[in-house]
């Protein structure tokens, strides 16, 4: 069946520089699609909503009070969390499993893979991101990951992950200072897995070796780091300066301030920058105490997620639609650039098939229709489609 939807095409707007809000009025279009986009034509009449490719989030540890790191999380709860993600405009995502015991990590991956295959909503699970356990053991770079389970890269363990995940581990974040890290990166990237640098205190030479071995991404750059660093050189500057690395950023106004974000985006350029949430269990839920794997975390009334009873950040409470708004608000970014960071750039960074072109014939019909108020700035998601199937629709008569 062929479906049509209408909206202003934000992806055709001349995006301009990394910052600066100048945005010409985009053209209204009609998109015809089945499971893929079939054609794009001028809309027959004016419209007040926008169309974009659906958001892609390559780092989601949990959402809507659902923990993806618990092997016991019921499938119906995972389904509920995916529906909540659809309401924010997300159409593809990578559930992310963090540092834990081998048994717990494999169990979480197995549980998520089972959900992907059995749930109607499971198609949105594009693959899995394993963040850790091959990270720095030192306070600061380790972040909130539990120290007892930090361990060196191990290809046999990677094989066990892939067996548990039905071969769908697509990103592995590791620290390149481990002995044997370059060889490990060469092996996993040869199998089509993205090797990402994160939670590291590597030297410039170690980062260069990792990139030469095949690493292509920096995970939540600017976070998972010492609170105080020497001015230069340091592992943040080295990654910013490395043009072969894309970088993703948590844009919640908590993890990064506006000045760092502006500089980082100018260094990487929009073409190498990606928006992620690093959302954990309490994201999209009420403030309170939750679990992320074996960790207890608190979400405070102001939206910070911290280790229980501490001030150390432990993921975020961010939604992707709010992250796009924050890019516009914090750095004055044109909406088109912010959408690009949440869609086609994320697809390239995470090797998401059929999503690299954007609103173009032949790409998957993963779409989001939304209203945008530049004065807020504020996004209101109206409808979301995954492979041409509408998975979310809002009451269009509701006050925006």
At 338-384, the pLDDT tens digits run 999 999 999 999 999 999 999 999 999 999 999 999 999 999 999 99
CA atoms of 329 and 323, how far apart (whole Å): 10
Report CA 330 to chain centroid distance, whole Å. Answer: 19
Residues in a beta bridge with 66 = 63
Q: Chain-wide mean pLDDT for the chain? A: 95
Round to whole Å and give the CA distance between 39 and 37: 6
Q: Give me the pLDDT at residue 23, please.
A: 56
Residue keyed to tokens 């639609």: 321
70 an active-site residue? no
How high is the pLDDT of residue 44? Answer: 86
How far is Cα 178 from Cα 200, in angstroms, rounded to an integer? 10
Kindly give the interhelix angle for 258-268 and 320-331, rounded to the nearest 10 degrees.
90
pLDDT at 67: 98
Q: Does the reported pTM lie above 0.75? A: yes
Digit-coded pLDDT (tens) for 91-146:
999 999 999 999 999 999 999 999 999 999 999 999 999 999 999 999 999 999 99
Structure tokens at 160: 């066990």
Helix/strand/coil (H, E, C) string of 238-267?
HHHHCCCCEEEEECCCCCCCHHHHHHHHHH
Average pLDDT over residues 178-206: 98
Alpha-carbon separation of residue 306 from 278, 280, 281, 315, 317 (angstroms):
13, 10, 12, 8, 10
- For the record, the structure tokens of 119 come out as 């749930």
Question: If residue 335 lies in a helix (H) or strand (E), which one and from where to where?
Answer: helix 335-342
Give the pLDDT of residue 45.
85
Q: Is 366 helix (H, G, I), strand (E, B) or coil?
A: coil
Please calculate the CA angle 127-131-134 and round it to the nearest 5 degrees: 130
pLDDT in tens, 292-310: 999 999 999 999 999 999 9
Q: Which of 57, 67, 278, 321 is catalytic?
A: 278
- Domains identified in the chain and CATH numbers: 17-52+360-393 (2.30.40.10), 54-350 (3.20.20.140)
The candidate with the shortest Cα–Cα distance to 122, out of 185, 173, 80, 174, is 80
């Amino acid at each position: 069946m062929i479906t049509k939807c209408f909206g202003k095409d934000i992806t055709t707007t001349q995006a301009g520089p990394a910052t600066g809000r100048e945005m010409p009025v985009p053209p209204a279009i009609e998109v015809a699609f089945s499971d893929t986009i079939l054609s794009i034509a001028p809309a027959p009449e004016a419209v007040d909503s926008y169309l974009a490719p659906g958001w892609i989030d390559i780092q989601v540890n949990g959402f809507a009070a659902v923990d993806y790191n618990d092997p016991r999380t019921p499938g119906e709860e995972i389904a509920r969390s995916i529906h909540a993600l659809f309401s924010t405009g997300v159409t593809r995502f990578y559930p992310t499993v963090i540092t834990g015991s081998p048994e717990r990590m494999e169990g979480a991956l197995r549980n998520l893979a089972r959900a992907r295959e059995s749930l109607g909503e499971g198609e949105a699970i594009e693959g899995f991101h394993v963040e850790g356990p091959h990270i720095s053991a030192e306070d600061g770079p380790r972040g909130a990951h539990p120290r007892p389970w930090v361990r060196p890269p191990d290809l046999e363990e990677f094989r066990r992950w892939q067996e548990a995940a039905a071969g769908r581990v697509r990103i592995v974040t590791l620290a390149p200072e481990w002995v044997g890290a370059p060889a490990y990166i060469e092996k996993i990237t040869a199998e089509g897995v993205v090797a990402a640098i994160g939670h590291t205190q590597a030297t410039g030479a170690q980062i260069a070796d990792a990139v030469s071995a095949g690493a292509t991404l920096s995970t939540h750059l600017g976070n998972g780091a010492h609170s105080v660093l020497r001015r230069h050189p340091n592992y943040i500057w080295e990654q910013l300066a490395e043009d072969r690395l894309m970088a993703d950023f948590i844009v919640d106004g908590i993890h990064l301030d506006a000045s760092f974000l502006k500089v980082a985006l100018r260094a990487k350029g929009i073409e190498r920058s990606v928006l992620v949430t690093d959302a954990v269990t309490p994201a999209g839920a009420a403030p309170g105490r939750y679990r992320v794997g074996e960790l207890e975390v608190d979400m405070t009334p102001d939206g910070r997620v911290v280790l229980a009873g501490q001030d150390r950040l432990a993921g975020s409470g961010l939604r992707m639609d709010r992250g796009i708004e924050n890019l516009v608000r914090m750095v004055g970014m044109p909406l088109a650039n912010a959408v690009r960071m949440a869609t086609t750039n994320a697809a390239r960074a995470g090797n998401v098939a059929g999503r690299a072109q954007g609103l173009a014939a032949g790409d998957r019909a993963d779409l989001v229709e939304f209203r945008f108020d530049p004065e807020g700035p504020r996004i209101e998601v109206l409808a979301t489609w995954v492979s041409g199937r509408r998975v979310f629709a809002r009451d269009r008569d509701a006050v925006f």
